[in-house]
Amino acid sequence: MVAASMADLLDSRREDSCTIQRVQPSAAGALDRNEQYINVKTRVCCHLSVKTMSVPDGVGRYQVVNVFQVFLRPEVEIKQGDRLIVTKQGLTYVLTAGKAIRYGSHLEVTCQEVADV
């Protein structure tokens, strides 16, 4: 009961929101690169935190990888490879989920944002 109370308290302090998307497997069960993401859950309260930010150096085209942490309620299901579309203070971040770590009071997911610059 204490963990549920802590989860409720933490959730009440989260001001960001996200949509969880997952690739829908084909009829045969195999993943196809051309398949689309489908919404699994929308308007999920979360907290987005920056872990590391990349800075491009040099000349030309680069791929920048930024790493974020997303905190959610512990009962939310996130699978590695899910797409999280997080809105924080009017800005939108499209992230790919890594492995989620579940605690009694929250779920912590390390995510990447990859951008070509």
pLDDT at position 13: 72
pLDDT at position 4: 57
User: 26-45 b/e with 16+ CB inside 10 Å = b?
Assistant: eeeeeeeeeeeeeebeeebb
Give the residue among 90, 89, 103, 97 at the shortest CA–CA distance from 41. 97
pTM, whole model, 2 decimals?
0.80
Which amino acid, 84? L
Integer angstrom CA distances of residue 91 from 48, 87, 88, 95: 11, 6, 5, 13
pLDDT at position 1: 46
Positions of the chain with pLDDT lower than 50, given as ranges? 1
Architecture of domain 2-116: Beta Barrel (2.40)
Ranges of each domain in the chain: 2-116
Condensed to tens digits (0 to 9), the pLDDT of residues 34-46 reads 678 999 999 999 9
pLDDT at position 18: 95
